[in-house]
Chain A
Amino acid sequence: MPTQSTTFDYAPAPESRALVDIKASYGLFIDGEFVDGHGDAFKSINPATEETLAEISEADDADVDRAVKAARRAFRSWSRMPGSERAKYLYRIARIVQERSRELAILESIDNGKPIKESRDVDVPIVAAHFFYHAGWADKLEYAGLGANPQPLGVAAQVIPWNFPLLMLAWKIAPALACGNTVVLKPAETTPLTALLFAEICQQADLPPGVVNIITGAGGTGQALIAHPDVDKVAFTGSTEVGKAIARSIAGTDKKATLELGGKAANIVFDDAPIDQAVEGIVDGIFFNQGHVCCAGSRLLVQESIADDLLDRLKRRMSTLRIGDPLDKNTDVGAINSGEQLKRIRELSEVGDAEGAERWEVACDLPTKGFWFPPTIFTGVSQAHRIAREEIFGPVLSVLTFRTPAEAVEKANNTPYGLSAGVWTDKGSRILFMADRLRAGVVWANTFNKFDPTSPFGGYKESGYGREGGRQGLASYLKAGA
């Protein structure tokens, strides 16, 4: 019998692209139909290979106006429809999402660069869950704690980011529709394809024309949409910088807004933490979705007494991460979404070097084409470093240490952001102690980056305002009834 150890190399296990039919060009989805946009068309590329996937229409001001008008027309009947009828459409959409889940997952990975494992096991199942969950609310809104007869707001302008293209769409569209609003949604310019496939799903579900409109374009299109005078509600997920601009642009209007912005979450590991699970949580916290997660655990706060041991374990674990082809079922970390984002990650990492933090990255061969950045940690980081304060939005972890729970709270809260935090300890009372004091919209205990439609999500401070998901999320799309 053999006594030499042998290497166990996983053969490539690529998901087939055959299921996905990407068209050469896409129009705008307005009033239930695909129409040409009148702006300058742009291209969506596969970030893992830089191949052009499709030409995408850009909506100009007139297209935006048409979309908002279509939504306004549809609002009259959609808002008066019994909730139980609206629910049927949402259930139907949820079921079609499940039926076409593989197709959606593959397309998401191609357009976004995220590993198929995540789009298949996380993104798409949660998308379906959001539609199912909100379908259930549609005829029960009087029990949402907003009065006897809460009313929809009207037309919602929704602008979403590129990190979870379809999932953010679901977070926006499902509650809006359940509450009787109609929507005009603009996906990010680098990741429009799953939103356009979702438009097809709306057709397949016989959703009345104009209830969901999807317009594509870049920042200008988004601005025009938000500034449109007939919009009642603005929902935005993206950077704090753009969020502030949106808040300024709608100041003094009647428009209601929810903004879900950046974050610099602290993932706090105490000396009594379940150490192997904490290591997993740190990896999930920052390397999930290449760190393109607003609530990513990008600041590791580790109790000084276990820092060396924890970092050794973390590095060993990181060395087993598989980086490469997003469509390979064994890939753990995929491609950075765009050249522009890669540039920002590189720049901030160089700042980390320059400020004296110590960089350690996984030794791995990165593909020569496409946008890639190896999983990286910076040790010896202090609160004064830019990489401890600014959102990098990539697979880069800054490691800081603390001595006492009070110091952990102080450092965790010492950030302009407040979206999420993680606490790792075997002591239940300490979890509660920390959760009481952390100024973050979500506090995860002995886990990280877990999402559920029943749980409200949103931030403090520069991470934005308003909540999405749960009963609280409905309040963002309803006005209190009489």
Chain B
Amino acid sequence: MPPTVPTETPGLAAYADVTASNTTLRRFLHGLPGVDQVGAEARAASLGTRSIKTTAKAHAIELAITMVDLTTLEGQDTPGKVRALASKALRPDPSDPTCPSVAAVCVYGDLVGEVKQIVGDRVNVAAVATAFPSGRASLEVKLADTRDAVAAGADEIDMVIDRGAFLAGHYLQVFDEIVAVKEACRRADGSHAHLKVIFETGELQTYDNVRRASWLAMLAGTDFIKTSTGKVQPAATLPVTLVMLEAVRDFREATGVQIGVKPAGGIRTSKDAIKYLVMVNEVTGPDWLTPDWFRFGASTLLNDLLMQRTKLATGRYSGPDYFTLD
């Protein structure tokens, strides 16, 4: 499932000079075209006015369910809680066997085993790692955190970047960390756990920073770029996701390597989810409209999708008690 191994891609090799030193990397990132905040937000808002009805809506809701990384990242998470969530990931709507499973269950690394027991290979298990959510730990600790989760059977690793280093302009340090974590995702058989890099866009603040972080992570070999931890406001927004989608689109044009995108945090309604899918459809094109290339990091979103799905099928709304709370 992971895309091409970056170091072997001829397209990416052309960028070897860029990452040779912090100076060259900085020069490259600061040389990327700027993002005009007003214009980007206007474009995102205008895509949000698309009217998705009937068959298109049904298709979008079905697709969105398959893209959910069903997430719980609380200090109070227990084995019981994550097992319940894992069951829900497999069968989001127990009353309807035609309802698809979600893409993955996303938990802290120590709970990977619990989830794995329930879902086996039928749904992916994603673990947050690298001193999530702040990323404030030594590299050794972050790598140990990652290896631990991979050893426990995580299919996907959601790492956070060191925002402090990024904002201080130590781009190569951030780059090297991603490379090292990617290496730590390697399993004994040579395969990799899928790596998602979280920027915490709410802390990077500007769209210029989001574009730079996107290119930095893609050059470092990530499989996915992800907006947020969900612990900082604002989390995912349409304009931030727009800038990231433009980045993966441009990166594939430049290198031939396709990278996935995951907005996470704050997406709660089907209406919101559909706006994101419209944006993917019109900015990167349909190549990204699969769970391999686009994910939603969410928890409450799933039940709203299920309610809307049932409404479309039956013509009426059911109360929240008809959908499981896990």
Contacts and interface: CB of A to CB of B under 8 A. Distances in A.
A24 B39 CA distance: 44
A10 B290 contact: no
B40 interface: yes
A121 B49 contact: yes
Given A11-B55, A330-B50, A4 B290 contact: yes
B38 A446 contact: yes
A9 B40 contact: no
Contacts of A272: 33-34
Contact of B51 (A276, A280, A329): A329
A5 B54 CA distance: 20
Interface in A1-30: 1-13
B103 interface: yes
B246 A276 contact: yes
B66 A2 contact: yes
Contacts of A277: 35-36, 39-40, 43
A8 B35 contact: no
Interface residues of B, number: 38
B153 to A, nearest CB: 18
Contacts of B103: 1
A230 interface: no
A274 B34 contact: yes
A273 interface: yes
Given A7-B286, A277-B43, A2 B291 contact: yes
Given A2-B66, A2-B291, A8-B60, A274 B55 contact: no
Contacts of B96: none
Interface of A: 1-13, 117, 121, 272-277, 280-281, 320, 329-330, 426, 446-447
Interface of B: 1, 33-36, 38-40, 42-43, 49-57, 59-60, 63, 66, 100-101, 103, 246, 277-278, 281-282, 286-292
Contacts of B100: 1
12 contacts: A1-B100, A1-B101, A5-B289, A5-B290, A8-B56, A8-B60, A272-B33, A273-B34, A274-B36, A276-B39, A281-B39, A446-B39
Secondary structure class of chain B's binding surface, majority of residues = helix
Contacts of A276: 33, 35, 39-40, 43, 246
**4 nearest A-B residue pairs (beta carbon):** A277-B39, A13-B51, A274-B36, A329-B51
Contacts of B38: 446-447
Contacts of A320: 282
A2 B101 CA distance: 11
Contacts of A12: 53
A277 B37 CA distance: 9
Contact of B286 (A2, A5, A273, A426): A5
Given A320-B282, A447-B38, A6 B33 contact: no
B106 to A, nearest CB: 15
A272 B246 CA distance: 17
A272 B208 CA distance: 13
Given A2-B291, A5-B289, A276-B246, A10 B43 contact: no
Given A2-B66, A275-B33, A8 B59 contact: yes
A176 to B, nearest CB: 32
B282 A11 contact: no
A330 B33 contact: no
B194 to A, nearest CB: 13
A92 B175 CA distance: 61
B258 to A, nearest CB: 11
B290 A6 contact: yes
Nearest to A424: B36
A11 B36 contact: no
Nearest to A7: B286
B33 A273 contact: yes
A13 B56 CA distance: 10
A114 B100 CA distance: 41
Given A274-B33, A276-B33, A280-B39, A9 B56 contact: yes
